[in-house]
Chains A and B, each alone.
Chain A
């Protein structure tokens, strides 16, 4: 069972805006930054959002992140078929003294 809770699945149609939530606690999300990763089948994860809302170079501005209290969200606007992938949130946990991941959300573009 993951310490960070994500919905196992999400979906949307092309052009729509989709959000994926990541729920944690005071020992992780509230007091530490959240990072998001995108992963396609059979390949390594890719950093999508870091420090709650920062985009690495090359990541389209359709992707955005936010954090409030013990929860974080990843938003994808103007959904495209190539966005169909698994998405993971992660953060440092002060109680566990380590990194925790959400269970992952499989995004389907209908």
Chain B
């Protein structure tokens, strides 16, 4: 069974940093592109970042470019999101998501974690 478990969320002050992790199990982690998608309270879905299965290709939303860094560790089956220079508008539930297929950088997210809440506030 595919499982994605996010951790690392919490309360942080504006300008601060936080590192999210997503621990994957139940599948061959190194075969799938992985993504982060967020949802601000009461708002819609917003894609954040995606990393290819090999880690060689990365794309980020304009809203987080230069501040957030996605990475993956195949030895630990973990997907990380390093978030720096956090802003109030980064407050959201952050989900990690896995594609349903192994083709390229697939954005067909058939598996989602339960999400971790990040609150940026003074």
A residues near B (Cβ < 8 Å) are 2, 35, 37, 39, 43-47, 50-51, 56, 86, 88, 90, 92, 96-104
Contact = CB atoms under 8 A, between A and B. Distances in A.
What's the interface size class on B, roughly? 20 to 34
B108 interface: yes
24 contacts: A2-B44, A35-B109, A43-B114, A44-B95, A44-B112, A44-B114, A45-B109, A46-B112, A47-B100, A47-B109, A50-B110, A56-B100, A86-B44, A90-B45, A92-B107, A97-B59, A98-B50, A98-B59, A98-B60, A98-B62, A99-B35, A99-B50, A99-B61, A101-B44
Contact of A103 (B44, B50, B109, B114): B44
B108 A35 contact: yes
A74 to B, nearest CB: 15
Given A45-B112, A47-B109, A50-B100, A90 B47 contact: yes
A100 B35 CA distance: 13
Contacts of B50: 98-99
Interface string B7-49: 0000000000000000000000000000101000000111100
Nearest to B108: A50
B47 A47 contact: no
B45 A88 contact: yes
A35 B115 contact: no
Interface of B: 35, 37, 44-47, 50, 59-62, 95, 100, 107-110, 112-115
Given A44-B114, A47-B100, A99 B107 contact: yes
A96 B37 CA distance: 16
A99 B47 contact: yes
Nearest to A104: B44
Nearest to B93: A44
B56 to A, nearest CB: 16
B72 to A, nearest CB: 18
Contact of B47 (A46, A98, A104): A98
A102 B110 CA distance: 18
A57 B115 CA distance: 23
Given A50-B100, A103-B44, A90 B107 contact: yes
